[in-house]
């Protein structure tokens, strides 16, 4: 049985998450004790990486219950962080932040620098989803310093990628391109397939926001090839949305719709409410450009309701900006209150 777990780990290290997950699920039925705990954690990780966040949350939850029985306090804490990441992906950023902040305190009191750095990085991502963009950027910067102190190159890369994403959300597109470019080079040197794909998508979005649509499409296509190879549904779905926005910006409505519908299917499958808000916004833009004003307004209002319901502050601003643009107005006050420098005054919007 140990050989099965080692084979699954080797697959995970090659970013072959779907295959690893199959092995872990088969092994779990025959394991107990510490081996079961180890398998639950690994299965939680692989389920999270392949977009099955509800399964991931459940596996981490079982690990949280089993670890104290085995006297594994550190494993219980790691499971708590994993569960927080799964909940974050499902849109539950408040509970995610609560779990992560509690975990960071415990890691620090135990002198676990690696755990504290990772948890800080995870909190930054939850703050980004909340819409507290300046705080997210500050947390990513702090996480990068912590990873540098630990000489953790992968951690530095993911912190740089987070800085790239938050910089884009703030309207600092050239900073975003610079951070993503540095992270991409690092991940390619490390042969980290997921990180390389993720940063190709990030570079593409920075170029899209800078008006280089051809360059953006090239990076998105590289990301798509890599995501398909590793079976990542979540990041792939966001890349499809980015492709749709790029094609819409250059007048290719049919291609934009194709990618949006494919992204919507994946966001529904992974139960990602934030991703679905973005799809609603883009479908509203398409409908407006096609002269279907009523359908456009219904879609943007639905996006606004969902963003408000989940507490996605930045996405709520996007929906308000799109609604105003449909009415021939330009609004930026909502963005300003979030510390974001964006002005949306035409359709399609340049949604970062």
pLDDT tens for each residue of 182-228? 999 999 999 999 999 999 999 999 999 999 999 999 999 999 999 99
**Residue 15: per-residue pLDDT:** 73
How far is it, in rounded angstroms, from Cα 114 to Cα 72? 17
Tell me, what's the pLDDT at 206?
98
Q: What is the pLDDT of residue 1?
A: 55
Check pLDDT > 90 for residue 11. no
pLDDT of residue 332: 74
Judged by DSSP in three states, 207 sits in: helix
Structure tokens at 104: 């960071």
> What's the rounded mean pLDDT across residues 102-128?
97
DSSP calls for 270-296:
HT-HHHHHHHHHHHHHHHHHTT-HHHH
Contact between 162 and 125 (Cβ < 8 Å): yes
- C-alpha 33/C-alpha 10 separation (Å) is 22
Spatial contact of 315 and 342, defined as CB atoms under 8 Å apart: no
* Average pLDDT value for residue range 45-50: 88
CA distance 262 to 243: 11
- Could you give the CA distance from residue 265 to residue 5 in angstroms, rounded to a whole number? 32
CB atoms within 10 A of CB 154: 13
Q: What is the pTM of this model?
A: 0.93
* pLDDT value at 2 more than 80: no
Q: Degrees (nearest 5) of the Cα angle 69, 73, 77?
A: 115
Q: Give the per-residue pLDDT at 345.
A: 74
User: Measured between alpha carbons, how far is 295 from 301 in angstroms, rounded to an integer?
Assistant: 10
Q: What is the pLDDT of residue 117?
A: 98
Residue 19 has pLDDT above 90, yes or no: no
Binned at pLDDT 50, 70 and 90, residue 49 comes out as confident
- List, for residues 252-301, the tens digit of each pLDDT value: 999 999 999 999 999 999 999 999 999 999 999 999 999 999 999 999 99
pLDDT of residue 71: 94
Where do the H-state alpha helices sit in the chain? 2-13, 17-28, 33-49, 53-69, 73-89, 93-109, 113-130, 133-150, 153-170, 173-190, 193-209, 213-230, 233-249, 253-270, 273-289, 293-310, 313-326, 333-337
Residue 232 predicted with pLDDT over 70: yes
Confidence of residue 324 (pLDDT cuts 50, 70, 90): very high
Angle subtended by helix axes 93-109 and 113-130, to nearest 10: 160
Q: For 98-113, what is the mean pLDDT?
A: 96
Please, are residues 248 and 214 in contact by the beta-carbon 8 Å criterion?
no
Q: What is the pLDDT of residues 127-178, one digit of tens each?
A: 999 999 999 999 999 999 999 999 999 999 999 999 999 999 999 999 999 9
Q: How many CB atoms lie within 10 A of CB 169?
A: 21
H helix runs in 151-192, sequence order: 153-170, 173-190
* Each residue's pLDDT tens digit, 336-349: 999 999 887 789 99
How many residues comprise the chain? 352
CA distance 305 to 239: 24
Query: What is the rounded distance in angstroms from the CA atom of residue 271 to the CA atom of residue 51?
Result: 9
Nearest alpha-carbon partner for 299 in 336, 347, 344: 347
Task: Give the tens place of pLDDT for each residue, 65-94.
Answer: 999 999 999 999 999 999 999 999 999 999
CA pair distance 285, 274, nearest whole angstrom:
17
The answer to whether the CB of 23 falls within 8 A of the CB of 47 is no
């Amino acid at each position: 049985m140990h050989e099965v777990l080692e084979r699954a780990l080797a697959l995970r290290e090659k970013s072959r998450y779907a295959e690893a997950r199959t092995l872990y699920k088969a092994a779990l039925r025959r394991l107990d004790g510490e081996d079961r705990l180890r398998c639950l954690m690994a299965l939680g990780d692989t389920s999270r990486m392949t977009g099955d966040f509800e399964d991931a949350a459940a596996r981490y939850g079982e690990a949280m219950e089993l670890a104290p029985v085995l006297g594994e306090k550190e494993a219980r804490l790691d499971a708590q962080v994993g569960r927080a990441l799964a909940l974050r992906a499902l849109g539950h950023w408040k509970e995610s932040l609560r779990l992560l902040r509690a975990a960071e305190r415990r890691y620090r009191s135990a002198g676990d620098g690696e755990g504290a750095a990772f948890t800080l990085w995870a909190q930054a991502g939850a703050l980004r989803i909340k819409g507290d963009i300046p705080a997210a950027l500050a947390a990513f910067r702090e996480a990068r310093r912590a990873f540098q102190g630990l000489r953790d190159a992968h951690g530095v890369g993911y912190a740089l990628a987070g800085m790239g994403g938050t910089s884009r959300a703030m309207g600092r597109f050239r900073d975003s391109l610079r951070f993503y470019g540095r992270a991409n080079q690092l991940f390619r040197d490390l042969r980290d397939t997921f990180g390389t794909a993720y940063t190709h998508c990030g570079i593409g979005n920075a170029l899209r926001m800078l008006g280089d649509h051809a360059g953006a499409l090239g990076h998105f296509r590289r990301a798509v090839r890599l995501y398909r190879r590793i079976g990542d549904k979540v990041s792939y779905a966001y890349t499809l949305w980015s492709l749709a926005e790029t094609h819409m910006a250059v007048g290719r409505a049919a291609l934009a719709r194709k990618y949006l519908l494919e992204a919507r299917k994946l966001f529904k499958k992974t139960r990602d409410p934030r991703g679905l808000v973005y799809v609603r916004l883009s479908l509203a833009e398409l409908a407006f450009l096609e002269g279907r004003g009523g359908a456009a307004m219904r879609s943007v209002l639905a996006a606004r309701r969902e963003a408000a319901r989940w507490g996605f502050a930045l996405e709520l601003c996007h929906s308000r900006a799109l609604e105003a643009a449909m009415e021939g107005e330009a609004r930026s006050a909502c963005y300003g209150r979030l510390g974001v420098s964006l002005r949306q005054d035409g359709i399609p919007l340049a949604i970062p």
